[in-house]
Amino acid sequence: MTPNHLKILYVLNALFFCALIGLFLYIPSGSRVLPLGQNISGAPIGAPQAATTTSVVVGKSTNDPEALKTGPITQINGGVLTIEDVISAQTYAVSANGDTKIQLIGSQKDPAKYKKEMDAYYAQIKLLMQDPIKNKDALLLLTIPAPVELQPGTLADFAVGDSIEATAASPVTNKSFTAVKIVKLPPPAAK
């Protein structure tokens, strides 16, 4: 190595250390560098986080989980289905009227068709999120497309032991409610 090469090497080392010191001086005193594999809360990436900002929630069922009850039918009495909610383990009497949408899960949608529906859904969200406060009601009405075909059904399609998902118009505060939508879920897959 020639003396010129050593001078260049010393200058490059000096510049590197100056940049490193400048970087540490630039970082605000209250912040910290995150280790790989952690998010800003310090939890591992992918771990659930507590919400720290105000957000607009899209879709009725995600906005209000208390309006959604899922479980097996334990009794059928006329137009009233008694179910045991799998989340709360409480029994609810779900009634249907002329406005209740009853659906049965059919076959899997064609992947191209489902992708097209999801693209349209995300485009609608993107458009509405340009002004989420003004579009709050429209955002609440959005529902994510189902990956399966939903067929219309009637109460006669239900039997004791079938699992259903019943959606109320508002949070369920007592043990009985009228559903705006009832979906008959497929039986669990055999193990």
Return the structure tokens found at 172: 């369920």
- Which pLDDT score is estimated for 3? 75
Query: What average pLDDT does this structure show over 87-115?
Result: 90
Helix (H) or strand (E) holding 111: helix 111-128
Residue 151 CB coordination number (10 Å): 13
Domain for residue 176, yes or no? yes
Using 50, 70 and 90 to split pLDDT, how confident is the model at 113? very high
pLDDT for the residue numbered 50: 45
| Residue at 83 is within a domain | yes
Reported as a single tens digit per residue, the pLDDT across 117-162 is 999 999 999 999 999 899 888 888 888 888 888 899 999 999 999 9
**Whether the Cβ atoms of residue 104 and residue 120 lie closer than 8 Å to each other:** no
Supply the mean pLDDT for the chain. Answer: 77
- CATH assignment at residue 152: 2.40.50.140
Q: Rounded CA gap, 174 and 97, in Å?
A: 18
**Structural domain includes residue 136:** no
Of residues 2 and 137, more confidence is placed in: 137
Contact indicator for 55, 137 with CB cutoff of 8 Å = no
**Is 99 inside any structural domain?**
yes
**Domain extent at residue 82:** 60-109+146-184
Given CA atoms 151, 123, 53, 133 in this order, what sign does their dihedral have? negative
The distance between the two most distant Cα atoms of the chain, rounded to a whole number of Å, is: 98
Tokens 């529906």 locate to 117
Overall average pLDDT of the 23-36 stretch: 50
Residue 33 resides in a domain: no
Phi-psi region of 46 (alpha: psi -120 to 50; beta: other; left: phi over 0): left
Please tell me the pTM assigned to this model: 0.56
Q: Is the predicted pLDDT of residue 92 greater than 80, yes or no? A: yes
Total domains in the chain come to 1
